[in-house]
Structure 1
Amino acid sequence: MIAPPPTPPASGRGAVNAGIAAAAARFAFSATPRLDAELLMAHALGVERNAILLDPTRYAIPAAFAALVERRLRHEPIAYITGTRGFWSIDLAVGPGALVPRADSETLLIAAQAHFAGRAPGTVLDLGTGPGTLLLAALDEWPAQGLGVDFSSKALDYARDNAATLGMTDRARFIRGSWASAIAGQFDLILANPPYIATDETLPAEVHDHEPHAALFAGRDGLDDYRILARQLPALIAPGGAAVIEIGATQAEPVTALLAAQGLHVALHHDYGANPRALVATKVLTPCTAP
């Protein structure tokens, strides 16, 4: 059992809250300055964030906190600094070379739940898996077998480590490849969060300066990778299955058109902020005619 940290002297009580407040005041560039400061303080202390929220007076500010604040002031993503990010029902190790999981991507799991409606997909394919984000979340949701594909060897290293940490190495396999070019067979659930940012679009410094551009940018209109996926998906979707694809908030119409042109039926799902976020593509059933 790990012993609780020593109680700081009376003169130090309240210092952690003050340190968090001071750091948050310097993070004006962030959409979540207070949360950022709390996560960095918890990481420096080696405790869960809830611990410092419930009783911050148990702790004194650790020496490591100042260096973490300086890293954040250089717009380094919090997930890279702490080395982890929670997503869906799992925690994932992340770092430079791997796209940081976003809460909006959980929309794909919600859309998949709605499609399967109480039944479980037996096989899952995650195209552009990164650190294993969507695949490992799906395998935590359903007792399926999964395959993750990514072109980045560095991202795949994180994915394999995450599968091992989560005890999923017997169910999750990862290969390096360009989308589904090396994939044969069909899958019940296909997940994909491709790059969808236009090359001339301006991004926040913490994204543009730190996250891998290959996982962000997709040509002048942001649709280059959807054009590839739309051609590949029909052969990959098993009967009764679905491909669930993340889109940018303005891309529902053009990506739907690309998928529909390949004979797929498409349904739109919105994220937590009510923005268009996921397309569910299924094969159009051909009615049987009596002889």
Structure 2
Amino acid sequence: MTIAELLHSATGANQLGDSPQLDCELLLCFVLGVAPSYLKTWPERQVSGDHWAQFDALLQRRIAGEPVAYLIGSQGFWSLDLEVSPATLIPRPETELLVEVALDLALPEQAAVLDLGTGTGAIALALASERNGWQICAVDLQQSAVDLAERNRQRYQLNNVRLFASDWFAAIPVQRFDLIVSNPPYIEANDPHLTQGDVRFEPASALVSGDDGLDDLRLVCSQSVDYLADGGWLLLEHGFDQGAAVRELLERAGFTLVETRSDLNGCERITLGCCHF
């Protein structure tokens, strides 16, 4: 079968979710070890029996619901291609809004930044790639996530990022940060979406946060004031229907200039506030 025939057959005969063509192209690129442009340039190239078998095995796992990012072991975020694994949440395009908002803040050239719950390191590494003067500390509860994020850091030689394991602030050295960012778990424990789609394969510890989804957001909001410099900022990602609740949490903790930003889908996604003593 040619590349074009294989892609046509795979996308036409199977239920693959919202982006069947893209899913199949990513899987085939992974199997062949080529860039996406190769598939467009050489659609008439024959696919060997071994490659076809590898592709079909991955395709069947995708049909069963496994995320493409886990199948190929990587996911694009910002300008980076990050290693991912089932030990971490898959970085999502919506989270790039948090990076954009952080980069727009008037922070010192040598800003001290803390990323809580770093996972793959996506947020910390994206910020580090844009601001080489920032000194970024990134932590995660899971050592396996820290190890993965460290591999991503080494790949891009981002030496202004330091990674270690911590249960939120528990192991953070006593210091003041100019910026704290976090994409914490924020899904309700009984949310039916946890049993649907790609989310079924992601670690629950990175998704679920109590009965109302706000347990970790409450902790971060209340404890961040002890780690922020005067005039420092806290930026939080949250669920599309949690903007009002997070604004209230920030205001209750004493933050000012509290506001919520919406993502490209018009959903409230990022809330930020400034800390003043």
* TM-score above 0.5, yes or no: yes
C-alpha displacement of 1:200: 0.7
Q: Which secondary structure does the structure 2 equivalent of 1:190 belong to?
A: strand
C-alpha displacement of 1:173: 1.3
Q: Which residue of 2 aligns with 1:213?
A: 204
Residue 125 (1) aligns with residue 131 (2): no
Q: Which secondary structure does the structure 2 equivalent of 1:195 belong to?
A: coil
Q: Which residue of 2 aligns with 1:237?
A: 228
Using the size of structure 2 for normalisation, the TM-score is 0.91
Pick from 160, 165, 170 the counterpart of residue 150 of structure 2.
160
- Calculate the aligned-residue CA RMSD, in Å: 1.8
Mapping for residues 271-282 of structure 1, pairs under 5 Å = 271-282=263-274
Q: Which residue of 2 aligns with 1:16?
A: 3
Distance 1:65 1:268 in 2: 43
Distance 1:53 1:185 in 2: 52
Question: Cα–Cα, structure 1 residues 31 and 59, in superposed 2: closer, same or farther, change >3 Å?
Answer: same
Corresponding letter in the other structure for 1:109: V
Contact 1:128-1:149 within 8 A present in 2 as well = yes
Residue 177 (1) aligns with residue 166 (2): yes
C-alpha displacement of 1:175: 1.5
Distance 1:193 1:161 in 2: 20
Cα deviation 1:228-262 (Å, max 9, x = unaligned): 01111112222333111101000000011011101
Q: Which secondary structure does the structure 2 equivalent of 1:209 belong to?
A: helix
Q: Which secondary structure does the structure 2 equivalent of 1:159 belong to?
A: helix
Contact 2:103-2:127 within 8 A present in 1 as well = no
Question: Cα–Cα, structure 1 residues 59 and 121, in superposed 2: closer, same or farther, change >3 Å?
Answer: farther
Pick from 257, 262, 265 the counterpart of residue 270 of structure 1.
262
Residue 114 (1) aligns with residue 101 (2): no
Distance 1:120 1:253 in 2: 32
Distance 1:264 1:165 in 2: 37
Corresponding letter in the other structure for 2:112: T
Contact 1:121-1:188 within 8 A present in 2 as well = no
Mapping for residues 1-291 of structure 1, pairs under 5 Å = 12=1, 15-60=2-47, 62-63=51-52, 64-116=54-106, 120=109, 122-143=111-132, 144-168=134-158, 170-183=159-172, 184-203=174-193, 205-265=196-256, 266-284=258-276
Q: Which secondary structure does the structure 1 equivalent of 2:65 belong to?
A: coil
Q: Which secondary structure does the structure 2 equivalent of 1:57 belong to?
A: coil
Question: Cα–Cα, structure 1 residues 166 and 216, in superposed 2: closer, same or farther, change >3 Å?
Answer: same
Contact 1:268-1:276 within 8 A present in 2 as well = yes
Corresponding letter in the other structure for 1:34: Q
Which sections of structure 1, spanning at least 5 residues, go unmatched? 1-11, 287-291
Corresponding letter in the other structure for 1:163: R
Q: Which secondary structure does the structure 2 equivalent of 1:196 belong to?
A: coil
C-alpha displacement of 1:51: 1.9
Larger radius of gyration: 1
C-alpha displacement of 1:34: 1.1
Structure 1 residue runs of 4+, over 6 Å off? none
